[in-house]
Chain A
Amino acid sequence: MKLIGILANPQIPVYAQIDLKYATLRLKDGASAEIIIKVGEGNLSYTERRNIEYTLDRGVLDEVREGDEVPVEVSMDLVWEWVTGGSESGDVGTVEDFLKKKGQYSGNTSTDSDACRPYAVDIEVEYVPDCSVEDKEYITLSDYRYEELAHDLRAGTIATSGQCNITEATAVRLPQST
């Protein structure tokens, strides 16, 4: 007879923090709308977690399996230098409007394929290090929904946190020459 029980339900976090001084941030909707944010200073952090379940066989560690999925947590706090619409002729609205699908961005399409779910956007970070021998990096955090948002247009600051409906961020590294 084999006795199997859940020993624990630990969450194993993968934590990443990016210095946004050399980064350009893009918020994209599910169609072609985007807002580009040139960051003066600030940080963006995201946390990937996964539940690992360990089971015992008569008191001895035995099986290991993955438990329930956990959404990626995102937090950013930054001062922007400028914000642009990204299109050739497009005017630009505010980051707040983009995240809330309001004002100029009221016609935005959610990145979530299920239209009944709350509006979501993709966050794309283009990080080009100051040192040219280091690779540039593109990090995409898909289906982000803010849960907290503080935006001061006058001071050019954004502080937001929320979650992405994904378990892992997508990171692509390329030489700066490309």
Chain B
Amino acid sequence: MKYLGKVINAPTEEIIVIPRTTGNITLKIQAVLDFDEFEALCPTPEPPVKMVPGGAKIANAEAPSYLEAIDAWASKKSSWLILKALQATSELEFETVNMSDPETFNNYDKEFRAAGFSSMEIAMIVNKVTDTCGLNSEKVEAATKAFLAGQELPQDM
């Protein structure tokens, strides 16, 4: 695919720098394009089936066990997204996270805290990931508005 004659073949990358007196920590974040890899490792939980009078079987999406499973799955998915985006920082290593074991995905938060990252710093990293991955609709909207404003300029001049 080309845009303005240039080939676009790389996902968005952004940088966040966490200041430290011992040396700033520079994290490179790359947009995650899809969740295929995560889905292969950790498929979306299926709701159990319930039978209603007459014998028809329908999905029981209100089952407590299913709601718990969905919560846990969503948490792992968010963690995987953050870890995957941070893989662009080759210097960063998590000791207790194994990218092929979904049960370890949520450990990234503990490791950040153990490394002295504050809750606000972790939140900033997470926000940067969501922004980079295009999950922040406000940012897209702002960019669109800025573009449209730019388009209007020549007409006003």
Using a CB–CB cutoff of 8 Å, the interface residues on chain A facing chain B are: 79-92, 94, 153-156
> Which chain A residue lies CB-closest to B45?
A88
The reply to whether the CB of B10 lies closer than 8 angstroms to some CB of chain A is: no
A152 and B46 CA atoms in complex are apart in Å by 28
Report A20 CB to chain B, min CB distance, Å. Answer: 15
Query: Which residues on B sit within 8 Å (CB–CB) of A87?
Result: 48, 65
Residues 45-60 of chain B, each 1 if its beta carbon lies under 8 Å from chain A, else 0: 1101111111101001
Instruction: Note all chain B residues with C-beta closer than 8 A to A81.
Output: 52-53
Which chain B residues lie closer than 8 Å to A85 at the CB level?
48-49
Question: Which partner residue on chain B sits nearest A91 by CB separation?
Answer: B49
Q: Which residues of B contact A (CB under 8 A)?
A: 45-46, 48-55, 57, 60, 63, 65-66, 69
Residues in B with CB closer than 8 Å to A94 are: 51
Q: Which residues of B contact A79 (CB under 8 A)?
A: 53
Which B residue's beta carbon lies closest to that of A80?
Answer: B53
Q: Which of A82, A86, A153, A155 has the largest number of chain B CB atoms within 10 A? A: A82
Q: A84-B60, A88-B65 are in contact. Are A154 and B45 (CB under 8 A)?
A: no
Question: Within the assembled complex, what's the spacing in Å between the Cα atoms of A173 and B60?
Answer: 27
Interface pair B51/A89, CB less than 8 Å apart = no
Contact present for A153 and B65 (CB under 8 Å): no
| CB neighbours of A90 from chain B (8 A) | 48-49
Residues of A within 8 A of B45 (CB): 88
Which chain B positions have C-beta within 8 A of A83? Answer: 50-51
Max count, chain A CB within 10 A of own CB: residue among B49, B53, B54, B66? B53
Are the C-beta atoms of B49 and A84 separated by less than 8 Å? yes
Contact B53 A89 (CB under 8 A): no
Contact between B48 and A88 (Cβ–Cβ < 8 Å)?
A: yes
Measured between beta carbons, the chain A residues less than 8 angstroms from B65 are: 86-88
Chain A residue nearest to B60 (CB atoms) is: A84
Residues of A contacting B69 in the complex (Cβ-Cβ under 8 angstroms): 88
